[in-house]
């Protein structure tokens, strides 16, 4: 374990580029979340409230969003779109967490630090989608579930930033023989 900083330049380059491209994708993902729902627990809860509680028809459809009108009319994520998002995003989250784990295995870290980062990476999507489904199924406690979803998303972002900073530092800014905790 902990051999990534001493690996061949192409191995370090692949790990670094994966993290940078993933970070760019996450920035666009956050922008899309902000465009469609919200970064506040009440905004998430309102977007996911069951259509029976809102008086809407249960049909979900995609519509273009004008950023100037984001606060005019709340958006609604119906069950069909939530099923679709879960089906697509959960496996992608799992693959990202698995790739994080591979990079984490290569960093010079204690076993405890590796375990914490890996658990954080795999717990983030569970929290995110538990919060989204909770806000949809139990709208009376939607703000709580909205906060759980937001926490899960920010947790994955935090794991990403920690792994990125450690990778950049250990692979590109430390001497090869330098010890790391």
3-state secondary structure string across the chain: CCCHHHCCHHHHHHHHHHHHHHHHHHHHHHHHHHHHCCCCHHHHHHHHCCHHHHCCCCCCCCCCCCHHHCCCCCCCCCHHHHHHHHHHHHHHHHHHHHHHHHHHHHCCCCHHHHHHHHHHHHHHHHHHHHHHHHHHHCHHHHHHHHHHHHHHHHHHHHHHHHHHHHHHHHHHCCCCCCCCC
Asked whether residue 12 is assigned to any structural domain, the reply reads no
| Average pLDDT of the residues of the chain | 83
Give yes or no for residue 23 having a pLDDT over 50.
Answer: yes
Report residue 179's pLDDT band, with 50, 70 and 90 as the boundaries: low
Tens-digit pLDDT profile for residues 79-119: 888 888 888 888 899 899 999 999 999 999 999 999 999 99
**Is 178's pLDDT higher than 70?**
no
Do the domain assignments include residue 82? yes
Residue 16 lies in a domain: no
In a domain, 181, yes or no: no
Q: Rounded to two decimals, what is the model's pTM? A: 0.71
Residue 53 in any domain: the answer is: yes
Closest CA to 122 of 144, 155, 151, 150: 155
Which of residues 122 and 67 earns the better pLDDT score?
Answer: 122
Domain with 80, as residue range(s), is 25-63+74-172
Residue 115 lies in a domain: yes
The pLDDT, as a whole number, for residue 165 is 97
Number of domains composing the chain: 1
pLDDT at 44: 78
In a domain, 38, yes or no: yes
Is residue 3 a part of any domain in this protein?
Answer: no
Of 7-16, 31-40, 112-121, 125-134, the range with the lowest mean pLDDT is 31-40
Q: Does the pLDDT of residue 60 top 60, yes or no?
A: no
């Amino acid at each position: 374990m902990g051999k990534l900083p001493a690996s061949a330049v192409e191995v370090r380059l692949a790990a670094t580029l994966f993290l940078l491209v993933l970070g760019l994708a996450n920035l666009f993902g956050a922008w899309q979340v902000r465009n469609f729902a919200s970064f506040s627990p009440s905004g998430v809860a309102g977007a996911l409230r069951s259509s029976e509680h809102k008086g809407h028809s249960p049909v979900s459809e995609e519509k273009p969003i004008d950023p100037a009108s984001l606060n005019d009319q709340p958006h609604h994520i119906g069950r069909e779109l939530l099923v679709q998002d879960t089906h697509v995003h959960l496996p992608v989250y799992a693959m990202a967490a698995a790739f994080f784990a591979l990079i984490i295995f290569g960093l010079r870290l204690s076993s405890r630090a590796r375990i914490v980062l890996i658990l954080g990476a795999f717990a983030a999507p569970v929290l995110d989608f538990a919060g989204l489904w909770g806000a949809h199924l139990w709208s009376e406690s939607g703000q709580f579930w909205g906060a759980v979803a937001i926490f899960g998303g920010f947790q994955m972002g935090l794991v990403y930033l920690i792994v990125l900073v450690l990778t950049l530092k250990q692979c590109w800014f430390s001497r090869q023989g330098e010890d790391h905790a």
